[in-house]
Structure 1
Amino acid sequence: MDPEQTGQFLDSVKGARLYSLWYMFVFSGRRRGEMRALPWPEVSLDALWLHISAQMVEVAHRQYGEAPKAESVRTNWLSLDHGEVLSRWQDQETKELNEWAGVEARVESDRVWTHENGEPLHPDWVSRRFKRLGELSGLPPVRLHDLRHISATPALLGKADVKVVQERLGHSSRQITSDTYTSVLPEMMRTEAESTLSVVPREVAYDVHQKLEIAPNAFRGNVAVLFAHGARYTGNTWVVGAQTGPRAPLFGEIHTVGRGQEHAADAALKWIRGHCASQGLEILRVEDLNDQYPEDQRPHFAWLRFFITRPERPDVSQWGVPASPSPRSGGSRSRAYRRC
């Protein structure tokens, strides 16, 4: 399927119970075994990430959980849309499980995707269901595993770095990713100069009201996601803060005077780039999230997302269940990021 057909498929299954599963197959590039093994404690709807540290395999018609290859242990960062889709699914699944309370057939698996009674999905059932939905959508035949490759193509055409896509897919090397998606590399080169944010900010002045300090626990492995959100305080004065989530501690704050959203974004970019340079950190990617605000609110807000890495490689042997509480315990949802 090409990107247009992929969109048609998602539109056709929008009302399906497991829409979130097909959505995540399309946009996350996860393997079937990894998707089935994912437990809620390894998903954060606040910080927008999910951690891949297990997969389900089938041997002689019996299912087993096992650790994936070292290069496949990774943290995937989620978009706001990912968070919204998973948040709605979590609410639906919790409601279904409550309806099964006290029933002997109820299963407590803690997996993200299950049947109504909580029983984990069988791999063959997932593949058969996807095949049937594809037939009903009227689109060309496609295997479930093909969605893994389909998910990479829009990411690369959307200017994602090959290294970032490699780590998301769990490829052992950048070369494998480049060789697999050679057909889209020319288009990537043509769009390289069309970045939505300049890597070199324009000259802007700002006052530091709280020194930026990125806490060590903000990093998963050697990568942290930092949100810089600005709001027009009064007149042309903007307040810009940096944190990992809506209720996370504020890591720093600056004030700047400028005429609009673009000025505030440039100030945030210069501020965080300067901090990273002084601390030996590297910015992997910067995303402009301003279009997430309603159009009438955009003149009053600025919003950027930074992917920041430490120079050392992560020690994957130490990765386990994240310390973040399980999303089942409640708390804020990713939609809270819409408020500054």
Structure 2
Amino acid sequence: MELPAVTRPKPLVWTPERVKHWKRTGEKPGPVMVWTPQLTGEFLDFVMEDWLYELWHSFIFLGPRRGEMAALPWTEVSTDALWLRISQQIVEVAYKLYGEAPKADSVRTLSLSLESGDNLVSFRTKQDQKRQEWGTAYVESGRVWTHENGEELHPDWISRRFTRLVELSGLPPVRLHDLRHLAATLSLLAGHDIKVVQEKLGHSSRQITSDTYTSVLPEMMRAEAESVMAVVPRDTPFIVRTPLSIPETAWRNDIAVFFAHGARQSGDTWAVGAQAQPDSALLGMITLAGRGQDDAANAAVKWIRDHCTTNDLELVRVENFNDRYPEEQRSDFSLTRFTVARSESPGVDGWALPTGLPPAASRAARRAPNTRRKAA
């Protein structure tokens, strides 16, 4: 008997447009939905006082399966070395629980962040307090995640509890299993390789991870577009009206961030001004003849890149925010953010000299750096 092929549903991100549609109609755009980082933070803030806050935090940042979390014992956790080992899981069949070992590829050790480690310490402290309150009625299950009386959690109960919390928060709906997609997407957004994500989620191959869990956040798409725009030079002629000058107050630890805001003056004439804040003084201005906001943004990139080259600065990042304007305004405005770093090279003063130099030359070489420093 040959069954038809099944296509995995592609995870979709709760963009502002999809959230508005959901609020208006109650319809989900797809069966598998993923929160943006902002929505994720709102959920964590909402469940901060929930008994299982640390569990929801672990689902979001570690991406385990619910059966793996339900089965996790304290013996497989080290809050000092910051790791936990997934070596067993609880499977639910007709609401009855069965313990079994996960597939070989799913047995894995997860590294914990300092925050995740602190969360586990906090939850163990809460368990100790409940153990004293319940006395002999407390159930010693040995599990990490339990009810307040120590009883182990049923995987289906975890899902229902999570669904209820999402409803109470007023956020667009996601399933508990969708948090695995979220954990993978956040890891990719942070710049980790797909192989790292594969091992984190316990997949047998990176192909499964790539096909299933690489839902693309708007931030990732924007970063890709920005990086492409930054590395491909465009010849958009412009005239410097006011030379760019980055004041000392704009630098923070040798990093300066500012915007280039373009506006159509008349016809094809554009003016682009660099500013640290919307209402701050101009750091510089150029004008150009351009067909639209892309030409204005490309001219701004060329302007800032030339300035960095001339002044021994490094253009670290270019971010295009043209899509932030309403559709009807995009033909008349552009907005680009630049991150610039000071790129002074370290000197060689004070380093050991090659062996074999005569003592006089060695002494003279040792004195030379001091002389230069005094002159400077």
TM-score, normalised relative to structure 2: 0.49
Distance 2:181 2:224 in 1: 20
Does the alignment pair 1:9 with 2:57? no
1:173 Cα deviation (Å)? 0.6
Q: Distance in 2 between matches of 1:82 and 1:120?
A: 21
Structure with higher RCO (Cα < 8 A, 6+ apart): 1
What stretches of structure 1 move > 2 A for 4+ residues in a row? 182-193
Q: How many angstroms apart in 1 are the aligned matches of 2:48 and 2:158? A: 17
Q: Would you say 1:89 and 2:130 are equivalent positions?
A: no
CA 1:191–1:168: 2 relative to 1, 3 Å: farther
Q: Which runs of 5+ in 1 are unaligned?
A: 194-262, 264-340
Q: 1:36 to 1:187 in 2, by over 3 A?
A: farther
- Asked if the contact 1:13–1:19 (Cα under 8 Å) also holds between the matched residues in 2, the reply is yes
Distance 1:148 1:179, change over 3 A: same
The equivalent position to 1:30 in structure 2, one of 61, 64, 82, is 64
SS of corresponding position for 1:57: strand
Residue in structure 2 matched with residue 124 of structure 1 by the alignment: 156
CA contact (8 A) 1:157 1:188 kept: no
Change in 2 beyond 3 A, CA 1:182/1:5: closer
Q: Conserved in 2, the CA contact under 8 Å of 1:49 and 1:76? A: yes
Q: Does 1:98 align with 2:105?
A: no
Secondary structure at the counterpart of residue 135 of structure 2: coil
CA distance in 2, matches of 1:191, 1:98: 56
User: Is residue 52 from structure 1 mapped to residue 90 from structure 2 by the alignment?
Assistant: no
Alignment of 1:178-327 (within 5 A): 178-180=210-212, 181=214, 183=216
Amino acid in the other structure paired with 1:174: R
CA RMSD of aligned residues (A): 2.3
Specify the alignment match of 1:39 in structure 2: 73
User: Which residue among 119, 122, 138 is the counterpart of 2:170?
Assistant: 138
1:72 aligns with 2:92: no
Residues 181 and 215 in structure 2, CA contact (< 8 A), matched pair in contact too? no
Answer whether contact 2:185 2:216 (CA < 8 A) is retained.
no
Q: Which residue of 1 aligns with 2:52?
A: 18
Q: Distance in 1 between matches of 2:203 and 2:45?
A: 29
Aligned to 2:181: 149
Alpha-carbon displacement from aligned partner over 1:158-194 (angstroms, at most 9, x marks no partner): 011111110000111111112221636766767999x
CA distance in 1, matches of 2:182, 2:166: 14
- Sequence identity percentage: 60
SS of match in other structure, 2:148: coil
Match of 1:335 in 2: none
Q: Is the 8 A contact 2:197 2:209 kept in 1?
A: yes
Gaps of at least 5 residues in structure 2 are: 1-34, 229-345, 347-376
Give the aligned residue type for 1:155: S
| Partner deviation per Cα, 1:211-255 (whole Å, 9 max, x = no partner) | xxxxxxxxxxxxxxxxxxxxxxxxxxxxxxxxxxxxxxxxxxxxx
- Seen in structure 2, the aligned counterparts of structure 1 residues 192 and 101 have a Cα distance that, compared at 3 Å, is farther
TM-aligned CA deviation for residue 117 of structure 1: 1.4
Q: TM-score, normalised by structure 1?
A: 0.54
Q: Deviation at 1:38? A: 0.3
- For residue 44 of structure 1, report the CA deviation from its aligned partner: 0.4
CA distance in 2, matches of 1:182, 1:25: 17
Q: Is the 8 A contact 1:159 1:192 kept in 2?
A: no
Could you tell me how far 1:98 is from its partner in structure 2?
2.1
SS of corresponding position for 2:136: coil
1:76 is displaced (CA, Å) by 0.4
Say yes or no: does 1:172 pair with 2:204. Answer: yes
Q: Judge conservation of contact 1:159–1:188 (CA < 8 Å) in 2.
A: no
Distance 1:24 1:182 in 2: 20
The number of residues matched between the two structures is: 193
What amino acid is the match of 1:176? Answer: I
- Aligned-partner residue type, residue 61 of structure 2: F
Q: Pick the structure with greater CA Rg.
A: 2
Q: Alignment partner of 1:65: what SS?
A: strand
Change (3 A) 1:120 1:176: same
Determine the C-alpha separation between the residues in 2 that align with 1:31 and 1:15. 23
